[in-house]
């Protein structure tokens, strides 16, 4: 983002975006011992130092929107499931708010209903809003993380993995570290969402770690995972923030949206053939309105390109559309331009606000994707940190972080019936950054954590614990 006062010059914004994007990523497992790794393949160092870098990219300006808050309509009785509706080739623009009416949230106000993919699999949806946290479970006390997640009332754990660190040679997989993570979550009785990023360089056209040149290569990988882990993996998220150049090998174009759709279709087909009960979730787009071929494509523009590719073929090949919700220093109830925050910066664009997910939902409904849920796979508020580009966190106290998260969860439960799952970013990165040498307790990832570096709960953890359990009691869960 910008400095405390809004950057006026586009060049300054580009420099800032590029600076923070260099840090994007997420922890991934380290492959088995070096003796098993071919000298020509990618290598990592198996130490306790987590290779953690930010998942959440810095939002950039997006053209202003003026949609009001959603108008909710109670769900009518459920009819029999019909055949999937055709996707419009060129949906009309609308200024109406995302509505939704319960369950999957149908955009036309009709009843909630099950839809089916062209392959005959039902489009899966959570019956109630479910809660999760992004966690780092490699090379740390994962059992302790699970106890804290259970005590908070979470349903889900989201763990990101780097494909390149597991398949360091074609069809040669090192599963050992992931085995431990999967088994730890399974023993805790929680559901596991695996986010898959970073291709092996030998599968990409340019030797980078972006999307594979041949989608079937990722299909082979997720098929092997589904066969190995079965029901222990409840959901697969295919890629992360694919509208960022950093996540696709260094450059970005609208053609990449089509490449992504083909990759998603392949992954969906292969996973469902093994485990039809597993959710397949799209990669969440980074909330940025900025388009620069060396940096990013606006999240709205990229989403439209995904939905328009091959006449909307994507519709039947995912269960939930994922989104990331950036809060900056803004209360969750605010949204630019109609109800902007009065924070001293990062307030004049919709992508700086939690409620930007309403704009994502509006695009889903406009393109006939309203039968699928939206999952927020990252949301949260940064606090004090020393990472350039995340200065807005210095405006948010630990107490405010907890209150903003509480308000966002209540809003999601009460006003967004089309929302299926909500994952806080993040659970324990303050702990893992404190375990590095030297410790970095004020890294931006640590600032989003709901735990302190010494494992003690921050106010955000306690707020989530109280709020989630109150919601579940009210829902009879």
Q: Are 333 and 343 in contact (CB under 8 A)?
A: no
Nearest to 458 by CA among 130, 148, 129: 148
381 Cβ contact list (under 8 Å, min separation 6): 327, 328, 329, 393, 396, 400, 401, 404, 405, 448, 460
- The β-bridge relationship of strands 172-173 and 167-169 is antiparallel
Residue 214 is predicted with a pLDDT of 98
Q: Could you tell me what percent of the chain has a pLDDT over 70?
A: 76
Measured between alpha carbons, how far is residue 318 from residues 102, 164, 233 in Å?
19, 24, 16
Residue 251 is predicted with a pLDDT of 86
Residue 290 is predicted with a pLDDT of 87
Residue 248 is predicted with a pLDDT of 86
- The β-bridge relationship of strands 156-162 and 130-134 is parallel
Three-state DSSP class for 238? strand
Residue 289 is predicted with a pLDDT of 83
Q: Are 468 and 154 in contact (CB under 8 A)?
A: yes
Query: How many of the other CB atoms lie within 10 Å of CB of 140?
Result: 18
Residue 50 is predicted with a pLDDT of 34
Residue 49 is predicted with a pLDDT of 32
pLDDT tens across 152-185, in order?
999 999 999 999 999 999 999 999 999 999 999 9
- The β-bridge relationship of strands 419-424 and 373-380 is parallel
Question: Which of these ranges, 106-110, 145-149, 202-206, 323-327, has the smallest mean pLDDT?
Answer: 106-110
Average pLDDT, the chain: 83
Q: For 226-333, where are the E strands, in sequence order?
A: 235-238, 279-282, 320-326
pLDDT grade, residue 446 (50/70/90)?
Answer: very high
Judge whether 462 lies within some domain.
Answer: yes
What is the rounded (10 degree) CA torsion for 257, 260, 266, 268?
Answer: -100
The DSSP secondary structure of 58-92, one letter per residue, reads PP-------PPPPPP----------PPPPPPSSPP
Phi, psi of 116 (to 5 degrees): -130, 145
pLDDT grade, residue 83 (50/70/90)?
Answer: very low
pLDDT tens across 28-40, in order?
433 333 333 333 3
Domain carrying residue 352 = 87-475
State mean pLDDT over 287-295.
90
Total tally of structural domains belonging to the chain: 1
Dihedral sign for Cα atoms in the order 235, 241, 247, 251:
positive
Judge whether 311 lies within some domain.
Answer: yes
Judge whether 468 lies within some domain.
Answer: yes
What is the rounded (10 degree) CA torsion for 406, 145, 155, 326?
Answer: 40
Judge whether 40 lies within some domain.
Answer: no
pLDDT tens across 323-372, in order?
999 999 999 999 999 999 999 999 999 999 999 999 999 999 999 999 99
Q: In terms of pLDDT, which residue wins out, 92 or 254?
A: 254
Query: What is the helix, strand, coil percentage profile of the chain, to 5?
Result: 35, 15, 50
Cα–Cα dist 132/139, whole Å? 21
Residue 98 is predicted with a pLDDT of 52
Q: Can you read off the two tokens belonging to residue 345?
A: 């910066």
Whether the pLDDT of residue 425 is over 90: the answer is yes
Q: Output the domain CATH number for residue 315.
A: 3.20.20.80
Q: In terms of pLDDT, which residue wins out, 56 or 440?
A: 440
Whether the pLDDT of residue 225 is over 50: the answer is yes
Nearest to 97 by CA among 408, 404, 364: 364
Judge whether 314 lies within some domain.
Answer: yes
State mean pLDDT over 278-303.
94
Q: Are 116 and 409 in contact (CB under 8 A)?
A: no
314 Cβ contact list (under 8 Å, min separation 6): 261, 264, 265, 306, 307
Residue 84 is predicted with a pLDDT of 38
Judge whether 369 lies within some domain.
Answer: yes
Q: Are 209 and 199 in contact (CB under 8 A)?
A: yes
Whether the pLDDT of residue 187 is over 80: the answer is yes
Whether the pLDDT of residue 199 is over 50: the answer is yes
Token pair 């029901």 is found at 231
pLDDT tens across 260-270, in order?
999 999 999 99
Whether the pLDDT of residue 62 is over 50: the answer is no
Judge whether 73 lies within some domain.
Answer: no
Judge whether 3 lies within some domain.
Answer: no
Question: Which of these ranges, 3-7, 213-217, 248-252, 455-459, has the smallest mean pLDDT?
Answer: 3-7
Measured between alpha carbons, how far is residue 8 from residues 11, 61, 290, 342, 372 in Å?
9, 11, 14, 18, 38
């Amino acid at each position: 983002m910008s400095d405390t006062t809004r950057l006026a010059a586009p060049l300054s914004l580009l420099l800032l975006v590029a600076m923070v994007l260099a840090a994007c990523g997420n922890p991934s497992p380290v492959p088995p011992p070096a003796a098993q790794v071919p000298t020509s393949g990618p290598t990592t160092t198996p130490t306790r130092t987590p290779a953690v870098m930010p998942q959440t990219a810095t939002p950039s300006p997006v053209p202003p929107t003026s949609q009001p808050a959603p108008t909710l309509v109670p769900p009518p009785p459920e009819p029999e499931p019909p055949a999937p509706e055709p996707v419009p080739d060129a949906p009309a623009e609308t200024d109406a708010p995302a509505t939704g009416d319960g369950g999957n949230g149908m955009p036309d106000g009709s009843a909630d209903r099950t839809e089916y993919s062209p392959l005959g699999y039902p489009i899966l949806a959570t019956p109630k809003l479910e809660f999760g946290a992004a966690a780092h479970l490699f090379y740390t006390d994962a059992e302790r993380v699970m106890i804290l997640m259970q005590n908070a009332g979470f349903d889900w754990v989201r763990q990101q993995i780097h494909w390149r660190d597991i398949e360091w040679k074609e069809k040669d997989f090192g599963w050992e570290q992931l085995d431990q993570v999967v088994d730890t979550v399974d023993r805790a009785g929680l559901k596991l969402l695996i986010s898959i990023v970073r291709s092996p360089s030998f599968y990409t056209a340019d030797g980078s770690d972006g999307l594979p040149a041949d989608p079937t290569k990722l299909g082979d990988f997720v098929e092997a995972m589904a066969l190995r882990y079965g029901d222990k993996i409840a959901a697969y998220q295919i890629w992360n923030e694919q509208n960022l150049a950093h996540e696709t090998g260094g450059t970005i174009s609208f053609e990449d949206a089509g490449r992504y759709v083909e990759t998603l279709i392949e992954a969906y087909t292969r996973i469902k053939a093994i485990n039809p009960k597993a959710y397949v979730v799209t990669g969440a787009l980074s909330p940025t309105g900025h388009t620069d071929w060396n940096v990013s494509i606006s999240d709205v523009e990229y989403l439209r390109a995904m939905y328009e590719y091959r006449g909307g073929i994507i519709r039947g090949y995912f269960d939930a559309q994922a989104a990331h919700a950036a809060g900056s220093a803004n209360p969750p109830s605010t949204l630019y331009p109609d109800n902007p925050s009065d924070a001293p910066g990062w307030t004049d664009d919709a992508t700086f606000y939690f409620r930007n997910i309403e704009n994502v939902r509006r695009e889903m409904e406009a393109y006939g994707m309203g039968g699928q849920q939206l999952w927020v796979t990252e949301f949260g508020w940064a606090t004090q940190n020393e990472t350039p580009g995340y200065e807005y966190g210095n405006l948010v106290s630990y107490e405010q972080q907890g209150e903003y998260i509480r308000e966002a969860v209540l809003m999601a439960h009460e006003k967004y019936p089309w929302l299926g799952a909500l994952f806080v970013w993040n659970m324990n990165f303050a702990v893992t950054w404190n375990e590095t040498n030297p410790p970095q307790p004020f890294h931006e990832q640590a600032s989003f954590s709901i735990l302190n570096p010494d494992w003690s709960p921050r106010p955000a953890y306690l707020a989530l614990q109280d709020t989630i359990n109150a919601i579940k009691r009210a829902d009879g869960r």
